[in-house]
Every structure is written in structure tokens, then in C-alpha cells.
Chains A and B, each alone.
Chain A
């Protein structure tokens, strides 16, 4: 079976230096895949590569049958990938509802089905839809950011550290929402700092270090791997 997303030997960076070296990974339909690794490993960079924001010098990125390696960002959005960056991922001065509307900017016509879908995933947001997003708590901001990304009904959602800085309670809630999102037929590729919890929750995982993938496997296998545990999970 062909994967929804496949990075094959991707090498590239922002300027002359290659941050990613020969990265190969894939995400299948309706799968939750997590990338873990130390700070500066290139996890965010790998996501940007998928989203056309990196100078890819070698390798290819195939999504749903199309080679999207050199595509412009808006074309990638249109094709069915949405991306929630690690930081600055909301419009602070706009209301929750307007944040969602901007997420659907490329969609013509009636948006009510898209709003319904996102508000049913995030009931808290619906109550506060007129509130400026910048005044919300960290967890709620993350929900706005995810909601914005889901407005176009993507096939693949890229989440860069959605639980960074959140309390364990919110982290559980975000993970639960990821499962709910996956149950609406959206595959998720996410980067996580909380490696243990994330590997326990994801279907599969990759360990990225110094711009290369070092280990891959099911979440449980990676958690059980002694080398992985020693390197990245704090024993």
C-alpha cells in the first residue's frame, strides 16, 4: 500500500548548510506518527520541508500520489496538508471565529459545515468564539491553532509541539483531540517534547537526531528500546 506522505532521502536546509540529512519517513492514512528527538535535532525543520518552506537539495516528498517537493505553500494547503507551527500559531488580535475563518481562506462558498466540525471537536471554543485569541490560555490557544488548521478539512495535519508548556491535564486533552481528529479520517504527524507520553499515544514514531533519523518503529517498540531510552527519554 502506498503511504499518504513519504519523505525519501530528504536533504536540505535554510541557507547553505544542510540541516536535514537523508531523512526518510512516512505517514499512512489515519495514522498518528510522532517525531521525537533532542533540541535542535531538526524536527521542526522536517515539518517545514513538507510544507514547502525549506530548500530541499536532494530526495523527494510525495503526498497522496503527487510529488510536492517544490510546491508553493498555498498549493500544498489546497492539496490537503495543514500545518500548525511551534510558535506564533494564532492571530492574537483576531477573535476565535476569525482565526477559523482565516484557516478557511482558500475555501469558496459556505463555511458552516467546516465551523460545525471544528466547534464540535472544540466545544470550549464555540462558547468563546468572539474572544480575541491572544487573551486565551495556552491550551485554548493551541486548540484555536489546531482548529484553524482543520478548517480546510485536510488529509494530513502537521503539529509542531502542540503540548509545549501545557499542564499534564491539557496535554491529555490535546492527545485526546488528536485521536478524535484522526477518527474523522485525518492523519497526523506531530513533533513532541514529551517523548514518553507521545510514543505511548502514537501509532508509530521516529527518533530524529542531528538531522538524521536514527530509529523508527511502533511507539511501544521505541519505548522498549534501551538505546532510545538512554538517548532521549532520560533513562
Chain B
């Protein structure tokens, strides 16, 4: 197999899939670091975001990328609402209770999607998209958009976390929650902010998965394991780590087809997750051990 073939059939699709995982993994890593629990409804929130965008596309005829900001806002609102309605009341309880609650939320969100949009596969636009060829590389426009949007969204988030007062408050809460409270930082606002960001990024992951493949009610749930693997691979609490982890998991899944039957693709994420937890639980970029 030559280099171009490797790039065209494995690396490029892997990076696109990895970018989608990265968007979800960044939210998971933030929730993990700031709220201190594994949020199992993350995948199904991504599904919801994808279907909200579908509703907008169908109602207005706008392209899915134009619907993306609206879907992100709507999903962020839903995420904050779920926190206020459910997780907030469990804050003082052991974290495992919230983890289980988030599993319940995952099932609930999926049920809503299935009731409203049915269980059949849908897509944003019909017809076949032909890839363009750049120096022998076959790349579809939507693949470029996926990677570019991921980079732009993550860069914006990084600037927010590094420069703004509330971004720093989020980092402080992740770094040392009791000292953050002693400093007068309002934990409730930090939590809301975390859900706005995580919810918005979730929707982006779902929409880009929908753009590159198709929309199904199980699409997000199936991304949950790779997204968690990416977050832990990168190091919990590390935004740039989650991106790196997402890209590695995406490429690894695509490459696995070379040596394993394709049904085992999904097992790659599990293998990476297990390996990291055993060998280096702090992740590549030294995150927290929870």
C-alpha cells in the first residue's frame, strides 16, 4: 500500500472522525475536571444537537453549517436545564450517584429524540458528495470544515480559559475547588458556564458526525466510549490533551481496519482507554487522576 492510499483511506478519515471525538472529549474533560464526575449523557446530548440542527435545516432550508450555531445554543440551554433540574440536587451526594443519574438522562434524551424524529437514519443533504483532489489527496469539503471548525472552536475556548476572568475562574475551580471557594469564586456560575461550553461543543460533535455520516438516534451513544478514551488519553482537565486524544483515537480506529475485522473498530477506543488507565492514568499531558 502506498503512502497516498494510507492517507486517503485511513489517516484523513481518521483525523476527521478524531476531530468529532475531540469536540465531545473537550466537554467531557471539562465536566470531569470541574464537576468531578463522568458525564454519561454526553453522547446523547450530541445526538440531540445533531437532530436540532436537522430540524432547523428542514424548516429553513439553510445549510447545516449555518444551523450549527443555533443547535449549539439550543443544546447548551438543554445542558444547563438538565443540570438545574437533576444534577444540581445531587451536588452534595457521592459522585457515583450523579454518574448514574447521567446514564438515566442519556436514556431520556435518546427517548425524546426517538419520539420526535423516529428511529430511521436521516441526513442533512441528499445526494453523493465527490471529494476534490489536492496533490493526490482526496478530501471532501465537509471534511475540511469539520477539522477547521474544531480548531476554531477549541482555539476560542483556549483563549477564553487563558484570558477572561470567568475562564480563569473555571481553571481555578478545576485546580483547587476549596481555594476557589475561599477566594469568593461563585461555584454555581462556574457550573453553568461549564455546561454552556460542554453543551455547545456536544452539539458541534453531533452536527459534524451527522454531516460526515448520517443521523441516527444511537449516533451519540456510540461515540461515548471513544470520547471518554480521548479525554483520558489526553489527561483529564487538559483541553489540548482532549484534542490530541480525539485525533489519536480517530486515526487508531480507522487504522485498526488494516489488521482487525472492521466490526472490531469500536474496540480500539476501549483498548486505548484500558491501556492508558493501566499504564499512565494521568494521560499524555498529565491531567488529574480522579
B60 interface residue, CB < 8 Å from A? Answer: no
Interface residues of A (CB under 8 A from B): 51, 73-74, 77-78, 83, 85, 88-94, 98, 101-103, 105-106, 148
What is the bound-complex CA distance between A94 and B237, given in angstroms? 13
In the complex, chain B residues 128-145 whose Cβ is within 8 Å of any chain A Cβ: none
Q: A77-B184, A148-B183 are in contact. Are A102 and B168 (CB under 8 A)?
A: yes
B265 interface residue, CB < 8 Å from A? Answer: no
Can you give 24 A-B contacts (C-beta < 8 A)? Answer: A74-B181, A74-B184, A74-B186, A77-B182, A77-B184, A85-B178, A85-B182, A88-B178, A91-B171, A91-B175, A91-B176, A91-B179, A94-B168, A94-B172, A94-B175, A98-B168, A101-B165, A102-B168, A102-B172, A102-B180, A102-B183, A105-B185, A106-B183, A148-B183
Partner of B182, one of A83, A92, A93, A101: A83
- Evaluate contact between B175 and A77: CB separation under 8 angstroms: no
- Evaluate contact between A89 and B179: CB separation under 8 angstroms: yes
Shortest beta-carbon contacts, A-B, top 8: A106-B184, A74-B184, A91-B175, A77-B184, A102-B172, A102-B183, A93-B175, A105-B183
Which residues of the partner chain B approach A85 to less than 8 Å between Cβ atoms? 178-179, 182
In the assembled complex, the CB of A225 is this many whole angstroms from the nearest CB of chain B, namely: 35
- Evaluate contact between A91 and B178: CB separation under 8 angstroms: no
Which residues of the partner chain B approach A74 to less than 8 Å between Cβ atoms? 181, 184, 186
What is the bound-complex CA distance between A16 and B181, given in angstroms? 24
Which residues of the partner chain A approach B252 to less than 8 Å between Cβ atoms? none
Which residues of the partner chain A approach B181 to less than 8 Å between Cβ atoms? 73-74
- Evaluate contact between B172 and A103: CB separation under 8 angstroms: no
Which residues of the partner chain B approach A78 to less than 8 Å between Cβ atoms? 184
Partner of A88, one of B165, B171, B176: B176
B169 interface residue, CB < 8 Å from A? Answer: yes
In the assembled complex, the CB of B92 is this many whole angstroms from the nearest CB of chain A, namely: 14
Which residues of the partner chain B approach A77 to less than 8 Å between Cβ atoms? 182-184
- Evaluate contact between B182 and A105: CB separation under 8 angstroms: no
Which residues of the partner chain A approach B172 to less than 8 Å between Cβ atoms? 91, 94, 98, 102
What is the bound-complex CA distance between A51 and B176, given in angstroms? 18
Contact-residue size bin, chain B (C-beta under 8 Å from the other chain):
10 to 19
In the assembled complex, the CB of B190 is this many whole angstroms from the nearest CB of chain A, namely: 11
Which residues of the partner chain A approach B184 to less than 8 Å between Cβ atoms? 73-74, 77-78, 105-106
Partner of A73, one of B168, B176, B182: B182
- Evaluate contact between B185 and A102: CB separation under 8 angstroms: yes
- Evaluate contact between A88 and B168: CB separation under 8 angstroms: no
- Evaluate contact between B183 and A103: CB separation under 8 angstroms: yes
Which residues of the partner chain B approach A106 to less than 8 Å between Cβ atoms? 183-184
- Evaluate contact between B171 and A93: CB separation under 8 angstroms: yes
What is the bound-complex CA distance between A105 and B169, given in angstroms? 8
- Evaluate contact between B179 and A101: CB separation under 8 angstroms: no
What is the bound-complex CA distance between A147 and B180, given in angstroms? 15
Best-surrounded residue of B169, B176, B178 (most CB of chain A within 10 A):
B176
Which residues of the partner chain A approach B180 to less than 8 Å between Cβ atoms? 91, 102
What is the bound-complex CA distance between A103 and B179, given in angstroms? 9
Which of chain A's residues has its CB closest to B169's CB? A105
In the assembled complex, the CB of A149 is this many whole angstroms from the nearest CB of chain B, namely: 9
Additional A-B contacts beyond A98-B171, A102-B179, A106-B183 (10; CB < 8 A):
A73-B181, A77-B184, A78-B184, A85-B179, A88-B179, A92-B175, A94-B172, A102-B168, A105-B183, A106-B184
What is the bound-complex CA distance between A120 and B94, given in angstroms? 44
What is the bound-complex CA distance between A73 and B185, given in angstroms? 10
Which of chain A's residues has its CB closest to B178's CB? A88
In the assembled complex, the CB of B183 is this many whole angstroms from the nearest CB of chain A, namely: 5
Which residues of the partner chain B approach A89 to less than 8 Å between Cβ atoms? 179
What is the bound-complex CA distance between A35 and B129, given in angstroms? 75
Q: B172-200 interface mask toward A, CB cutoff 8 Å, 1 = contact, 0 = none?
A: 10011011111111100000000000000
- Evaluate contact between A90 and B168: CB separation under 8 angstroms: no
Best-surrounded residue of B175, B180, B186 (most CB of chain A within 10 A):
B175
Q: A88-B178, A90-B176, A91-B176 are in contact. Are A102 and B186 (CB under 8 A)?
A: no
What is the bound-complex CA distance between A85 and B178, given in angstroms? 10
Which residues of the partner chain B approach A101 to less than 8 Å between Cβ atoms? 165, 168
In the assembled complex, the CB of A135 is this many whole angstroms from the nearest CB of chain B, namely: 13
In the assembled complex, the CB of A191 is this many whole angstroms from the nearest CB of chain B, namely: 16
What is the bound-complex CA distance between A85 and B168, given in angstroms? 21
Which of chain B's residues has its CB closest to A107's CB? B184
In the assembled complex, the CB of A28 is this many whole angstroms from the nearest CB of chain B, namely: 24
- Evaluate contact between A90 and B182: CB separation under 8 angstroms: no
- Evaluate contact between B176 and A92: CB separation under 8 angstroms: yes
